[in-house]
């Protein structure tokens, strides 16, 4: 018993001496600055230190000047890691003694800092780097940083993509292949969550709660079918999950631009029913003044839009995604160009500014887009999935413009574009280690009406200013009902 007590006393004494020795050991300090490869300081970088002398990792965050300081470090060798979103982590070894040490860190920008998942091949989700296709993927973070709010903004961001418009109707071109007809079918297509947008008036709707945009270049007829000769733009929205998420984004700019976006997503019944809802409101004044209608600038924006989704888990092998969206765009359209010079013998009041015109008729426009879809995915076995996508969309577009953009009664254009479509798609995908294949059938039914009225005045030059002597209305009527069926394997 006495020997046991002596042993315990010796151990306690050794522990006390060790503690005193450690406390007496001088502590070191590590400080430095974190910069990017261009030499700019980076605030908000997480700096982590690990080493045998530490019982747990030490973490600090750089201040507004990119500086960091780690105090009370026992002498030893440490591994220092700097991590920041959008940059490759930077790791280095540092020896810290009794005195202070300094180590500046440099992190490089990485385009592959996050894994980008795509569904472009329609055979399931895959990493973009392993997808054998000419594809550009723009995540939501990139769209926000670049200020891309519509498909029109993809021009200059996605390679080989150009955009133009005629009286508000989109003309999409990919790799130089497109169509200059705004009343016919396009040659490069746009899909919203896999649903084909059949009319040019549908294309320029605002992005709302978008997860990413995929741009596929080159013919995509096998996978996307109808009219995807030049390529296709696939808009993928953010689906609800079991995690409660909210987001708000406010934007202000010149021409009194104001834009507010909000979204909420989360579980309604955990692991069974999830939902999301997003709302958008945006306004902006036009950048071309109509001097004859000073409170009616051209090229303005007035937008209301909303989207809701309901995701239902049907057992362990299937799930149903219900989606609905509505958008109302009532900005004043800006069309054609400002006339600069009249033909010999003619005259009109030409404002000096290139951003000012005079019109005889008040310009107006509206664009209402809405649609619903139901996607049912059933896993038949470990390698095979059956997917059904049923969708209905409608478009109600109209603009009225003074086509000559002068104060003279020369010509007006009244162009409505009313359409609704129903589509049904069935696909079967099997993925095995040696072979992946897809087969499917597609049905598309469209009804389109557009009664275009162009009123032209017969103008004759007398011994004085130009005046209208006659009016000749002209009308063209276009209707189309196009069923389309296709199957591919």
Mean predicted confidence (pLDDT) in 54-62: 83
CB atoms within 10 A of CB 106: 16
pLDDT of residue 129: 61
Q: Where are the domains of the chain?
A: 27-107, 117-236, 264-488
The arrangement of secondary structure in 264-488, i.e. its CATH architecture, is Beta Barrel (2.40)
CA gap 107, 412 in Å, rounded: 59
> What is the rounded average pLDDT of the residues 239-252?
92
Please, which pLDDT band fits residue 480 given cuts at 50, 70 and 90?
very low
Look at the domain 27-107 and name its fold: Immunoglobulin-like (2.60.40)
Class of domain 117-236: mainly beta
371-390: per-residue pLDDT in tens? Answer: 999 999 998 998 899 999 99
Q: What is the mean pLDDT of the chain?
A: 81
**Predicted confidence (pLDDT) per residue in 28-49, tens digit:** 888 999 988 878 888 889 999 8
pLDDT of residue 19: 41
- The answer to which of 69-73, 208-212, 247-251 has the lowest mean pLDDT is 69-73
Q: Which residue has the higher pLDDT, 187 or 67?
A: 67
| Residue 300 clears pLDDT 80, i.e. is over it | yes
**How many Cα neighbours within 13 Å face the side chain of 123?**
19
Q: Is the pTM of this model over 0.85?
A: no
Q: How confident is the model at residue 476 (pLDDT cuts 50, 70, 90)?
A: very low
Identical fold for domains 117-236 and 264-488, yes or no, is no
Give the rounded percent of residues in the chain with a pLDDT score beyond 70: 83
């Amino acid at each position: 018993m006495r020997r046991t007590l002596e042993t315990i006393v010796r151990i306690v004494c050794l522990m006390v001496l060790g503690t005193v020795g450690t406390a007496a050991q001088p502590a070191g300090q590590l400080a430095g600055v974190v910069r990017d490869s261009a030499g700019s300081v980076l605030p908000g970088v997480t700096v982590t230190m690990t080493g045998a002398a530490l019982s747990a990792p030490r973490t600090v965050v750089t201040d507004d000047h990119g500086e960091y300081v780690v105090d009370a470090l026992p002498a030893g060798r440490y591994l220092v890691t700097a991590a920041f979103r959008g940059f490759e982590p930077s790791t280095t070894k540092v020896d810290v003694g009794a005195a202070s040490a300094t180590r500046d860190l440099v992190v490089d920008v990485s385009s592959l800092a996050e894994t980008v998942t795509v569904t472009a091949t329609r055979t399931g989700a895959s990493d973009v780097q392993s997808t054998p296709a000419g594809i550009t993927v723009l995540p939501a973070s990139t769209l926000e940083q670049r200020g891309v709010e519509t498909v029109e903004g993809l021009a200059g961001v996605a390679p080989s993509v150009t955009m133009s418009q005629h009286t508000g109707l989109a003309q999409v071109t990919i790799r130089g292949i497109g169509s200059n007809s705004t009343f016919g079918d396009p040659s490069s297509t746009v899909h919203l969550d896999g649903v084909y947008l059949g009319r040019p008036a549908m294309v320029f709707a605002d992005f709302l709660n978008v997860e990413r945009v995929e741009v596929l270049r080159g013919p995509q007829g096998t996978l996307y079918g109808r009219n995807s000769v030049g390529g296709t733009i696939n808009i993928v929205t953010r689906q609800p999950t079991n995690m409660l998420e909210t987001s708000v984004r406010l934007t202000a700019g010149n021409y009194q631009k104001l834009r507010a976006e909000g979204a909420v997503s989360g579980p309604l019944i955990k692991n069974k029913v999830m939902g999301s809802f997003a709302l958008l409101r945006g306004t902006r004044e036009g950048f071309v003044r109509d001097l004859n209608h000073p409170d009616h600038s051209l090229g303005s924006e007035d937008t209301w839009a909303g989207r809701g989704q309901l995701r239902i888990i049907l057992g362990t092998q299937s799930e149903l995604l219900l989606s609905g969206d509505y958008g109302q765009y009532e900005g004043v359209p800006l069309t054609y160009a400002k006339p600069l010079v009249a033909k010999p013998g003619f005259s009109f009041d030409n404002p000096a500014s290139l951003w000012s015109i005079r019109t005889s008729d008040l310009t107006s426009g509206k664009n209402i887009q809405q649609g619903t879809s139901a996607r049912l995915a059933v896993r038949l076995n470990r390698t095979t999935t059956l997917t059904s996508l049923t969708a209905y969309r409608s478009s109600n577009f109209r603009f009225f413009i003074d086509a000559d953009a002068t104060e003279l009664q020369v010509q007006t254009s009244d162009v409505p574009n009313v359409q609704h479509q129903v589509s049904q798609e069935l696909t079967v995908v099997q993925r095995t280690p040696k072979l992946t294949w897809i087969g499917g059938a597609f049905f598309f039914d469209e009804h389109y009406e557009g009664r275009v009225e162009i009123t032209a005045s017969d103008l004759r030059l007398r011994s004085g200013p130009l005046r209208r002597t006659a009016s000749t209305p002209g009308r063209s009527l276009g209707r189309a009902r196009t069923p389309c069926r296709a199957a591919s394997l």
